[in-house]
Structure 1
């Protein structure tokens, strides 16, 4: 009878020890995750501060679209010049100019120009300038892998949209550890589509003309003008 009691106490002690060990492991994991998120937040804040410190930014980029199921594999190149919320974007044969009030979409192939207004205060309005700081809201983030790309250390941060309706499963944001510039952005869709935007060159504080972000209609005398508002 005495042996049975001792065994019972021993079993209870082992169970308690296992529970304590499990609880301790959970606490360690929680602290580790919080620390990792803190590091990711610090790096993202450094990227944002660096972007805001420049008077203007010029980027040449490559854009890739892949979907193995649909057998889609497309590459395109483009460039954008930004100053504050103003920008000139050239991509896939189309030029977009935003002068701070209106957007002018110029399509040479169709000889058509579309003029529209954009509310820059609207969080859903996607603009090139916001592409460098989009991660500041609407995402959960954690540190991911670090890679060596031609001698540059690229730290990846995994971003997961908090909106369940978002069609993107996750985003990997590659950041140059030394310059704090964005190197690339990889979006993975829930349906298997993968898009990659890679920065080929990143120039800052370049001399710009006074009319850099001004739409000059006289340059397009035979174009059809489509005013949306």
Structure 2
């Protein structure tokens, strides 16, 4: 009987500790969300790394993104993608090609405009490790998709404990693929050009680009 009571007590304490950790993790993510939403715009420079242990492959590249509300402009893999609030324009100079998609085509994906806020829904939260990165305290929160059919196994979100800015995202897929995004520069409320999120179709047509409208 004593063993049963001890087991129940341990299980109760473990459950309470887990709930407390979950609440602490959610509170930190709420702080991050509120901080992001307080800015008129954000400019981020980042390193993107993709690794597949089964295929023994690894690649790295750099990119940057400008975000203002739902609008964004991202440069990655030699291409530029612009979302003007209505349509998504993907410009690939190497192919001299532009693809135009309606917003509805990308509503269920993690777009750049959702990159800093995607964690708000569809995940369970768990308080994880604290790392010291060049004097900065980076607190990690582990996110596990609620949907058991998700292709994502887990996401580790590293947050600067002082600024409440996202420093690193490590996504592990069920197919042994690991995607890591490390933020090298995070600037806010910058004087952005009015045409930054505007696509000039006539300009690209004059330059001989092939325009694909989906």
Bin of the TM-score, shorter chain as denominator length: over 0.9
Map of 1:41 onto structure 2: 26
Map of 2:49 onto structure 1: 64
- Offset, 1:17: 1.2
Map of 1:25 onto structure 2: 10
Q: Deviations over 1:138-187 (max 9, x none)?
A: 11110000000000000001111111111111110000000000000001
Number of aligned residue pairs: give it.
212
- Write the mapping of 1:85-96 to structure 2, written as runs, cut at 5 A: 85-96=70-81
Map of 1:165 onto structure 2: 149
- Offset, 1:121: 9.6
Q: Does the alignment pair 1:131 with 2:115?
A: yes
Instruction: Out of 161-170 and 104-113, give the one that drifted further.
Output: 161-170
Q: Does the alignment pair 1:227 with 2:182?
A: no
Consecutive unaligned residues of structure 1, counting only runs of 5 or more, are 1-15
The CA RMSD over aligned residues, in Å, is: 1.3
Consecutive unaligned residues of structure 2, counting only runs of 5 or more, are none
Q: Does the alignment pair 1:178 with 2:162?
A: yes
1:51 match: secondary structure = helix
Computing the radius of gyration from Cα coordinates, the structure with the larger value is 1
1:38 match: secondary structure = helix
Map of 2:60 onto structure 1: 75
Distance across 2 between alignment mates of 1:113 and 1:54: 30
Map of 1:113 onto structure 2: 98
Q: Does the alignment pair 1:198 with 2:160?
A: no
In the superposition, the TM-score normalised over structure 2's length comes to: 0.96
Q: Deviations over 1:4-33 (max 9, x none)?
A: xxxxxxxxxxxx111111111111111111
Are the counterparts in 2 of residues 119 and 125 from structure 1 also a CA contact under 8 Å?
no
In the superposition, the TM-score normalised over structure 1's length comes to: 0.90
Are the counterparts in 2 of residues 89 and 96 from structure 1 also a CA contact under 8 Å?
yes
Q: 1:120 to 1:135 in 2, by over 3 A?
A: farther
Q: Which among 214, 217, 225 is matched to residue 198 of structure 2? A: 214
- Write the mapping of 1:1-12 to structure 2, written as runs, cut at 5 A: none
- Offset, 1:120: 9.1
Map of 1:12 onto structure 2: none
